[in-house]
């Protein structure tokens, strides 16, 4: 009975958030198709042609959507509105960071800068002015992407305006993933893996915390009158 109830909740969640999940499915399929058609590293070199354009600034800011300052703001926002949602977000972020750490340690894939350096082609990977050059074997999966998709998938699930919000939060998360490739910090495979893990974590946490949605004390925030 419990398993059936969980299955029904999962299906209902997918159906009620179809704009987000269909959009994500389309983007994922396109990403996978591109991945099968290119040589490892081509995606990074493709964006080199756009250096010194407005995209340098745009992606430098978009990548911040998955960094501590923004995360702290979002946590604070939910804490004042709803304890349950704030705790679910904290849980989502914690799990994302844990999975990221375990994944990077296990797979130990080289960052693009190290990859091209070992090929003797580092000069082709022109970096964005002011952006850090990341090296080491910590490329897979993309932590920024995983955290971004985990956070913004959760916000999409909690939103009441499913169509508009679903598309909006999907674009935010996808922008972070794209920024990691543009800045030369990750490969496409890292971003795809991070997005899949992030979405999965968000859905699981959302379903778990929805079990507390009918308990008044969990649905108050710091601004609520007790």
Q: What is the CATH number of the domain that holds 169?
A: 1.20.144
Looking at every residue in the chain, the average pLDDT score rounds to 93
Q: What's the pLDDT tens digit per position in 46-68?
A: 999 999 999 999 999 999 999 99
User: How many domains does the chain divide into?
Assistant: 1
In a domain, 99, yes or no: yes
Q: What's the pLDDT tens digit per position in 82-118?
A: 999 999 999 999 999 999 999 999 999 999 999 999 9
Q: What's the pLDDT tens digit per position in 164-213?
A: 999 999 999 999 999 999 999 999 999 999 999 999 999 999 999 998 77
Domain extent at residue 112:
2-219
Which residue bears the tokens 């939910």? 78
The confidence score (pLDDT) of residue 4 equals 54
In a domain, 105, yes or no: yes
In a domain, 88, yes or no: yes
The CA distances from residue 15 to 12, 85, 88, 152, 209, in Å, are 5, 21, 21, 18, 18
In a domain, 48, yes or no: yes
Long-range CB pairs of 111-120, under 8 A, 24+ apart, other chains included: 111/135, 111/136, 111/137, 111/138, 111/139, 111/185, 111/186, 112/41, 112/44, 112/139, 112/184, 112/185, 112/186, 112/187, 113/184, 115/40, 115/41, 115/139, 115/187, 116/41, 116/44
The confidence score (pLDDT) of residue 214 equals 75
In a domain, 104, yes or no: yes
- Report, as an integer, the average pLDDT of 75-85: 93
In a domain, 225, yes or no: no
The whole-model pTM stands at 0.94
In a domain, 113, yes or no: yes
Range 150-175 burial, b when 16+ CB lie within 10 A, else e: bbbbbbbbbbeeeeebbebbbebbbb
In a domain, 226, yes or no: no
């Amino acid at each position: 009975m419990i398993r059936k109830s969980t299955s029904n909740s999962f299906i209902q969640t997918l159906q009620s958030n179809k704009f987000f999940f269909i959009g994500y499915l389309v983007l994922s399929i396109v990403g996978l198709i591109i991945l099968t058609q290119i040589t490892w590293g081509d995606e990074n070199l493709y964006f080199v042609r756009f250096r010194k354009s407005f995209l340098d600034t745009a992606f430098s800011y978009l990548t911040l959507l998955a960094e501590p300052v923004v995360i702290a703001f979002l946590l604070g926002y939910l804490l004042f509105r709803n304890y349950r949602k704030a705790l679910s977000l904290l849980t989502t972020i914690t799990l994302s960071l844990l999975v990221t750490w375990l994944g990077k340690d296990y797979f130990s894939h080289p960052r693009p800068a190290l990859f091209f350096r070992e090929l003797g082609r580092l000069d082709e990977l022109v970096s964005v002015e002011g952006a850090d050059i990341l090296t080491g074997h910590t490329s897979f999966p993309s932590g920024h992407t995983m955290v971004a998709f985990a956070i913004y998938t959760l916000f999409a699930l909690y939103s009441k305006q499913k169509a508009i919000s679903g598309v909006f939060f999907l674009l935010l998360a996808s922008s972070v993933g794209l920024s990691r490739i543009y800045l030369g910090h990750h490969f496409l495979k890292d971003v795809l893996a991070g997005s899949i893990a992030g979405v999965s974590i968000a859905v699981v946490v959302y379903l778990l915390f929805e079990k507390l949605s009918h308990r008044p004390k969990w649905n108050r925030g710091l601004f609520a009158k007790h």
